[in-house]
Each structure stands twice: as structure tokens, then as C-alpha cells.
Amino acid sequence: MGVGVSLNGLAAAVANEGGIGVISAAGLGLLYPEYKKSTYLERCIYGLREEIHKAREKTCGVIGVNIMVALSNFADMVRTSIEEKVDVIFAGAGLPLDLPSFLKADSRTQLVPIVSSSRAARLICEKWLAGYNYLPDAIVVEGPKAGGHLGFKREQIEDENYALEHLIPEVVEVTRSYADRKRIPVIAAGGISTGEDIARFMALGASAVQMGSIFVPTNECDASMEFKKVYINGHAGDMRIIQSPVGMPGRAFDGEFIRSVAEGKEKPRSCPFHCIKTCDYTQSPYCIIKALYNAARGNMKKGYVFAGGNAYLADKIRSVKEVVDKLKADFLLTEVSYQAQ
């Protein structure tokens, strides 16, 4: 949902419906070119402040920021979010082992790491508790059906042993071992697209779910209409697992740009951004931040669309309210069915 897909518009709309509206911190420096007398990384900080302020003007609900640990300016974006008193920081794409170090005595921001295994969840809890006397305020468990970068090896993505249905109970067990100190809600994520999915994962012990792809084909999503149409017009056979320049597999819709990459036609000649710690442009087949930015702005010849495993099910553009109302209704129907059993 990064680089122009989930910004203040979508985040505020979700927050107004009772969810946690999340602003992606990735690529914000590209979205604020008017802040000219500055570097890309300085524009990222400016852009983050602007997005948080704009969201606050539109909602009194809960606003979060997603900050990838892999970002070269991870620390600056965390500090900025805490200074702006954002409600929640979600941190994944790496282990945020020092995240509590950024909090101050009067900080109100809650910290939620994103993990793909019970081992990672336990490691974070142990490190945070030993180093900062702090435990996560919740833990997001992102399974292999998620969109974008995946915290799994390619061969694990289709392996049922790594399915979200297996991961949730394992992470719930980790959090229960800390129950005498703190209740840590577990949030299921990755490929969740219906109210029935929500009920199923909550029956497995999750307290909530994280959903991204279902909110792309909405009026309030900050991406272009061309970007949203890729979801609307997509089919199951269009989904691809690609290898990202940042060294991780990712799930995306196939398209002209991905085929061009496969032919070696998108090799970057320089890197003015240095946005990802693990990216070496001299070894990269393309510049990922440019590709994602181009796609969000509607230039599909020079970009591609990350998406969750069920994103192709989208059939039309809806409002965020319509999406949430349908999820609630289907969830309640499933809950009644579970109770009847």
C-alpha cells in the first residue's frame, strides 16, 4: 500500500468507519516535489507530517503509520510519527528490535511489529522486554497471501505449513506467555478479504485483522483510477510472485512492466533516493520506488501493482463505508452460524 496508495484520504476514511486508518511512509519524498530545496529524505519527513496533519483534519478516529524497517530513513520516520503523536506505528519488512528506544516519557504512540513467524514474535518480545521493559501493544502476523513484499522464502509461499491458519495459533501462544505482564492482541493479515475470513481468524485466536487490497478499489483510496482498474480487471491467473530488488519475493499483478524487467530493459543507471537499506542499484533489475510511484500515478508501462492473493475478486469501485458495512454484515452472519454449530 506504499508509495501513494494509502495516504491521508484512505486512512481517514477507514478511521471514520471505526478502523485504524494507516498511512504508508514509503516513498513520501516523491509525493511532495514542491518542497524543492531539500533532499529526498528531507521531503519524506515533510511529506509524513503533511499526511498526518491532513488525516487529522478529516477524522477524529485512530490513525496509524506503516514504516518499513528496511527504509534507510526508518529512524527519522519513527521519530517524526511519535512527535506528531500518531496513534500507532506498524513496523515490518525487518525486525524492529530497537523501536521502543524512540519513545519518550510522554509519548502516546503505540508500537505494533509485523512478523511472519512465532519465532520472530518471541524474539521481539524478548528483546523489547530485556532492553526497554516494554512489550508490543499488538502484533500483526502477516501470512504468505499478503500483497507486496513477503517475509517468506519463495518455496514457503505455497507450503501449507506456513499458511496464516497455522501461524495465528502459534503467535497467540507466544503472546499468552506474557499475559501476566501485558495483554498483546494478535492481528491476522494477508489475503483476508471477507467478513467470513475475519470470523475464521478470530476463531483461531486473532483479536483483529489487517486488510489492504480490499480498500484499493474504493473512492477514497489515494492511488489513481488506472491503478484501481488493475484490481477490477484482474484475474486469478494474473497474480505473480516476483523477486524484488530489495531481496524479497513479492505478490503483484502481472503486466507490461514486469515483462520488460524480465527482458532486462529497466536497469537503473543511478540512484538519487537511496530509499532501501538492502537495495544496490548497480545490481538491481529496476528501481522499485520509481516503479511503485509510476503505478500509483497510473503509468502502468513503467510500474506494477502489488496486491494480496484475493485482490482479483474486486468487481467495482465502492466507498470505504460500503466495504466496511459489507464486512460487518458478513462477519455477523458467520458468527451466528458458528454459534449455531
Does pLDDT of 338 surpass 70? no
Asked if 150 contacts 157 with a C-beta cutoff of 8 angstroms, the reply is yes
Report how far residue 141's alpha carbon sits from residue 115's, in angstroms, rounded to the nearest whole number.
5
pLDDT of residue 274: 72
**Region 108-128: what's the mean pLDDT?**
97
pLDDT class of 171 with cuts at 50, 70, 90? very high
Q: Which neighbouring-strand residues pair with 68?
A: 92
Does pLDDT of 42 surpass 70? yes
Which range has the worst mean pLDDT, 32-36, 133-137, 216-220?
32-36
Asked if 331 contacts 206 with a C-beta cutoff of 8 angstroms, the reply is no
**Region 240-262: what's the mean pLDDT?**
88
pLDDT of residue 270: 67
pLDDT class of 297 with cuts at 50, 70, 90? very high
pLDDT tens-digit series, residues 45-59:
999 999 999 999 999
Asked if 43 contacts 64 with a C-beta cutoff of 8 angstroms, the reply is no
Distances 153 to 110, 142, 143 between C-alpha atoms, Å: 30, 14, 12
Asked if 331 contacts 18 with a C-beta cutoff of 8 angstroms, the reply is no
Distances 246 to 13, 146, 242, 276, 277 between C-alpha atoms, Å: 31, 17, 11, 7, 8
Does pLDDT of 340 surpass 90? no
pLDDT of residue 180: 96
pLDDT class of 248 with cuts at 50, 70, 90? confident
List the domain boundaries for the chain.
8-216, 226-302
Nearest to 8 by CA among 320, 314, 324: 320
Does pLDDT of 102 surpass 90? yes
Report how far residue 32's alpha carbon sits from residue 96's, in angstroms, rounded to the nearest whole number.
27
pLDDT of residue 336: 65
Does pLDDT of 5 surpass 90? yes
The 10 Å Cβ neighbour count of residue 339 is 7
Nearest to 328 by CA among 198, 173, 217, 226: 198
pLDDT class of 153 with cuts at 50, 70, 90? confident
Does pLDDT of 341 surpass 70? no
Report how far residue 162's alpha carbon sits from residue 89's, in angstroms, rounded to the nearest whole number.
25
Nearest to 230 by CA among 258, 254, 261: 254
How high does pLDDT run on average in the chain?
91
Report CA torsion sign: 51, 57, 59, 61: positive
**Region 307-329: what's the mean pLDDT?**
95
**Region 276-303: what's the mean pLDDT?**
84
pLDDT class of 288 with cuts at 50, 70, 90? confident
Does pLDDT of 9 surpass 70? yes
Report how far residue 77's alpha carbon sits from residue 59's, in angstroms, rounded to the nearest whole number.
22
**Region 180-195: what's the mean pLDDT?**
96
pLDDT tens-digit series, residues 21-31:
999 999 898 88
pLDDT of residue 279: 65
Residues of the chain with pLDDT > 90: what percent? Answer: 73
What 3-state class would DSSP assign to 126? helix
**Region 208-233: what's the mean pLDDT?**
96
User: Which grid coordinates belong to 250?
Assistant: 513479492
Alpha carbons within 13 angstroms on the beta-carbon side of residue 153 total 4
pLDDT class of 221 with cuts at 50, 70, 90? very high
pLDDT of residue 277: 67
Domain range 8-216, CATH class: alpha beta
User: C-alpha 304: how far from its chain's center?
Assistant: 16
Report how far residue 284's alpha carbon sits from residue 277's, in angstroms, rounded to the nearest whole number.
13
